[in-house]
């Protein structure tokens, strides 16, 4: 029998397995019954893998490998996004370094430069995905700027335009003065900043009750140049007398009205709110309601436009200082307060966004919202964890028309054509060069579409739509979308709207939201902070399997998780990651245990597994339970539980116990040795299959050497150990018996370790069984327990008393007493038990506090509450046992 090398070398093994999978063409859509098609959230073409990508891709690959082994028709669709702003910014910087400005070379040459960049760097992240072992279909990559994809994007725009869902209008948008483009509301990043609240005096045109001016409070004095009104709350009756009056706006000498509006908060500032309809969305809405003029005072770089004297040409910051100085000089600065407020920033650069009145293209979402909402409320689409359902529904309920135009060159150009001679305009699937109305030359809209507009088609535009929709048959809706919570609105919702509109079906059945991975100190990982972890560094240091397995253990219902990694503060390089190192130890454990089994197969011939004793019955039953829990766990996206169950079975039950139980039989001869070999191979083979989706490399490499008898060319193509097929092995009595065997032996070994008693020193043990049945089960395994625990004898009964000078341990409801007379300092033992009791008391108080919280009892699921009650009862039982032990030791 071919053996494994002594040490596991992740680098060489992982590369050889990658070569095998790709050469075998195993990543393509596999035949089978049922479907598991998944589309990868397309990473930016210019990006590099970060920990969010690594977790996302690990989860997806676990799902795909699982369903492939279950005989489903699986395909993982791979691709990248053209990332309009991101790519344009990078190419701009590259050209600037060469002394080139894109406006000098023009649109066409700049787009050529973007394509050059894409071809040079676009495949980098896909190679990283491949290195992780992700079994995506690399033979058929997609890109949101490919010709077929571009056709799908154009059809979407034209159809929605013709159906009245796309329109052009002049409205407030979030404008980035650095990128010089509109930014979606959902892409704006809010940062808390220390600022001021300036109280400015606006002179009344005519005095009111002897008052010559009112005081407005604002965080942005610079926008007062565009004020066209002052608003008060209709509930602030002290200001009723001012409604209908006017003020003379300082500096510009503009007469503007005072009016009441429900939007105004009477408690904010002075109660008088300056209204600048062209530079605030709420002011814009008030301007619409009260027919106010909309005056845009900034240009596209956020500098004051001409017509404002000394202030013209100033930046926002310069204008602010100058206006405050002007008000102070003219005796109109009432006072200033410290005031912290949240400021919108561009997600691609550090610039503060400017609410800016601009003509843009919008999608009217009202008609799209209903079907997209019903898709979730009906249960057709399920969110995991479930709490994200309400986040989606709340966002959908408050959804406003979507600004889809971006003032960029790189991207899908808006397919609308204009004739400046006669005023004709229309959207078209084909370029229009000549006006169909007057014959004059036409021009195309200069703007491009928001990146999310194109990516909303991802599940079906990558599968043949619109030209060959038959390719989607049986593969759409897709199985699951695995993504981050921060793009539920940006992407998930829009995919649902687009799919329900064009296909009249949902794009996916499940939305799996993974936790945000934070740095070790709880802050967000970022390049600027130098606290980000490069997954490739983890793979180089620990191997892909170790990184993948550790990431899966982090998948819980938590919203955020901290990644255990230490980063060099100077070089920003990875020092170590203790949890990933622990995962590597597990990979090595799998390798070494498998190596032990394979090295003991001399004389092996294939045959069926068979129960020859309680240890076999126990491990087969535990294997059946593992198959059930792992299958259900992956089906319900509980990957943290899956990882923990796999680790517990392989490391503790298989390696620590069953292999040890088997050693005596392996040293025997004839049928006894052969049967334990067959049993070991059977358990190892099935355990490797269950481990494979999470740890593909090491399991594939071992499985090549295991005499499994499967005709599959690779483990990833082998059959899954279905729970129904293993159910015949379930044996509660065997699990109970061997659970107590392991528990008693562990308790004795723990006592030896705690008190430094030699393993050669035989001990006498008394077991007080919980029931007569337990007493019989333990007695049946007497020889095994006495051998493994090295006992001079063992007494078992339901009414056994605690021997004098003995240490007690609770095992599966039974009390195990190790007689230590003459071997142990009992005072020290009593002190230890007192400390343990104090620790237990804190745990009990913590659970009691939770169970006495009305809010928790009202919101928690009944089964969770019952679990906590059971835990409380168990803790109290342990506490009572400790109390009796301490009393006896006194």
Residues marked as binding for ATP?
527
Q: Which residues contact 812 (CB under 8 A, 6 or more apart)?
A: 736, 739, 740, 743, 770, 774
Report the chain's C-alpha Rg in angstroms. Answer: 35
Q: Which residues contact 666 (CB under 8 A, 6 or more apart)?
A: 600, 673, 676, 677
Q: How many whole angstroms separate alpha carbon 164 and alpha carbon 200?
A: 45
Task: Tell me the DSSP string of 24-53.
Answer: TTTTSPPP-SSEEEEE----BTT----HHH
* H or E element that contains 587: helix 578-599
How many CA atoms are closer than 13 Å to the CA of 221, on its beta-carbon side? 29
What's the length of the chain? Answer: 890
* Beta carbons of 800 and 633 less than 8 angstroms apart: no
| Residue of 449, 456, 450, 452 whose CA lies nearest to 498 | 456
Q: Which residues contact 168 (CB under 8 A, 6 or more apart)?
A: 359, 360, 361, 362, 416
Q: How many whole angstroms separate alpha carbon 452 and alpha carbon 644?
A: 37
Q: How many whole angstroms separate alpha carbon 660 and alpha carbon 671?
A: 19
Q: How many whole angstroms separate alpha carbon 869 and alpha carbon 848?
A: 9
What number of H helices and E strands is found in the chain? 29, 31
Q: How many whole angstroms separate alpha carbon 276 and alpha carbon 256?
A: 11
- Compute how many other C-beta atoms are within 10 angstroms of the C-beta atom of residue 507: 26
* H or E element that contains 801: none
Residue 71 Rama label (left phi>0; alpha psi -120 to 50; beta): left
- Compute how many other C-beta atoms are within 10 angstroms of the C-beta atom of residue 243: 15
How is residue 649 annotated by DSSP?
A: I
Q: At which residue do the structure tokens 């701009």 appear?
A: 92
**Binding-site annotation, residues:** 527
């Amino acid at each position: 029998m071919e053996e494994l090398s002594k040490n596991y070398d992740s680098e060489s093994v992982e590369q050889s397995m990658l070569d095998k999978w790709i050469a075998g063409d195993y990543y393509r859509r596999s035949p089978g019954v049922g479907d598991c098609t998944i589309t990868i959230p397309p990473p930016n073409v210019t990006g590099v893998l970060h920990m969010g990508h690594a977790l996302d891709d690990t989860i997806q690959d676990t799902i795909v490998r699982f369903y492939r082994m279950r005989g489903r028709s699986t395909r993982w669709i791979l691709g990248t996004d053209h990332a309009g702003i991101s790519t344009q910014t990078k190419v701009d910087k590259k050209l600037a370094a060469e002394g080139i400005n894109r406006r000098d070379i023009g649109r066409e040459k700049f787009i050529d430069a973007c394509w050059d960049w894409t071809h040079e760097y676009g495949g980098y992240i896909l190679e990283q995905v491949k290195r992780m072992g992700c079994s995506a279909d690399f033979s058929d990559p997609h890109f949101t700027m490919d010709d077929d994809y571009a056709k799908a994007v154009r059809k979407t725009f034209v159809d929605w335009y013709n159906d009245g869902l796309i329109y052009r209008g002049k409205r407030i948008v979030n404008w980035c003065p650095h990128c010089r483009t509109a930014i979606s509301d959902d892409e704006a990043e809010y940062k808390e900043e220390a600022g001021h609240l300036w109280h400015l005096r606006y002179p009344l045109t005519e005095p009111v009750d002897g008052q010559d001016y009112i005081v407005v409070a604002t965080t942005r004095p610079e926008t007062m140049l565009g004020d066209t009104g002052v608003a008060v709350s209709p509930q602030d009756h002290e200001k009723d007398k001012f409604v209908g009056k006017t003020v003379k706006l300082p500096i510009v000498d503009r007469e503007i009205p005072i009016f009441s509006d429900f939007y105004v908060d009477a408690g904010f500032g002075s109660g008088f709110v300056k209204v600048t309809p062209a530079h605030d969305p709420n002011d814009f809405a008030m301007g619409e309601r009260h027919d106010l003029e909309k005056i845009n005072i900034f240009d596209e770089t956020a500098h004051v436009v001409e017509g404002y004297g000394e202030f013209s040409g100033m930046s926002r910051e310069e204008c602010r200082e100058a206006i405050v100085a002007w008000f102070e000089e003219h005796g109109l600065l009432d006072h200033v307060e410290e005031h912290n407020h949240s400021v919108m920033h561009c997600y691609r650069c550090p610039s503060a966004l400017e609410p800016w009145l601009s003509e843009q293209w919008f999608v009217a979402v009202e008609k799209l919202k209903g079907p997209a909402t019903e898709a979730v409320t009906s249960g057709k689409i399920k969110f995991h964890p479930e709490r994200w359902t309400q986040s989606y529904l709340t966002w959908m309920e408050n959804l406003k028309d979507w600004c889809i135009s971006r003032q960029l060159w790189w991207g899908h150009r808006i397919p609308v054509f204009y004739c400046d001679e006669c005023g004709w305009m229309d959207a078209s699937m084909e370029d229009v060069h000549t006006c169909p109305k007057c014959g004059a030359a036409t021009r195309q809209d200069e703007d491009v579409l928001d990146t999310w507009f194109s990516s909303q088609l991802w599940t079906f535009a990558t599968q043949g739509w619109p030209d060959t929709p038959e390719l989607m048959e049986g593969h759409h809706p897709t199985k699951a979308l695995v993504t981050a919570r921060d793009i539920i609105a940006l992407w998930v919702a829009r995919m649902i709207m687009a799919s329900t509109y064009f296909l009249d079906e949902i794009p996916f059945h499940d939305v799996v939201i993974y936790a945000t991975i934070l740095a070790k100190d709880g802050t967000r990982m970022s390049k600027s902070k130098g606290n980000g972890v490069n997954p490739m560094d983890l793979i180089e240091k620990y191997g892909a399997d170790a990184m993948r397995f550790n990431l899966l253990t982090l998948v819980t219902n938590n919203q955020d998780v901290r990644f255990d990694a230490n980063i060099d503060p100077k070089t920003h390089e990875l020092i170590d990651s203790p949890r990933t190192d622990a995962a590597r130890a597990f990979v090595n454990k799998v390798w070494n245990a498998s190596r032990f089994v394979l090295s003991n197969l001399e004389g092996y011939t294939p045959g069926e597994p068979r129960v020859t004793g309680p240890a076999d019955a126990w491990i087969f039953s535990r294997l059946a339970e593992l198959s059930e829990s792992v299958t259900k766990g992956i089906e319900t996206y509980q990957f943290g539980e899956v990882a923990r169950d796999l680790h517990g079975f392989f490391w503790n039950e298989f390696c620590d116990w069953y292999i040890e139980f088997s050693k005596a039989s392996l040293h025997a001869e004839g049928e006894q040795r052969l049967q334990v070999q067959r049993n070991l191979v059977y358990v190892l083979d099935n355990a490797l299959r269950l481990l494979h989706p999470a740890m593909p490399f090491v399991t594939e490499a071992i499985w090549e050497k295991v005499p499994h008898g499967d005709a599959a060319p690779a483990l990833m193509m082998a059959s899954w150990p279905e729970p129904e097929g293993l159910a015949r092995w379930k044996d509660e009595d065997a699990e109970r018996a061997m659970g107590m065997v392991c528990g008693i032996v562990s308790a004795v070994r723990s006592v030896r370790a705690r008190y430094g008693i030699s393993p050669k020193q035989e001990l006498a043990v008394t077991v007080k069984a919980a029931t007569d049945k337990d007493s019989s089960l333990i007695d049946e395994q007497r020889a095994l327990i006495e051998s493994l625990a090295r006992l001079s004898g063992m007494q078992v009964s339901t009414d056994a008393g605690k021997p004098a000078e003995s240490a007690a341990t609770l095992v599966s409801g039974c009390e195990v007493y190790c007689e230590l007379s003459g071997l142990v300092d009992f005072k020290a033992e009593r002190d230890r038990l007192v400390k343990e009791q104090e620790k237990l008391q804190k745990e009990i108080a913590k659970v009691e506090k939770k169970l006495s919280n009305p809010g928790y009892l009202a919101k928690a699921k009944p089964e969770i509450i019952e679990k906590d009650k059971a835990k409380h009862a168990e803790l109290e039982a342990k506490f009572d046992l400790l109390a009796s032990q301490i009393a006896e030791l006194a």
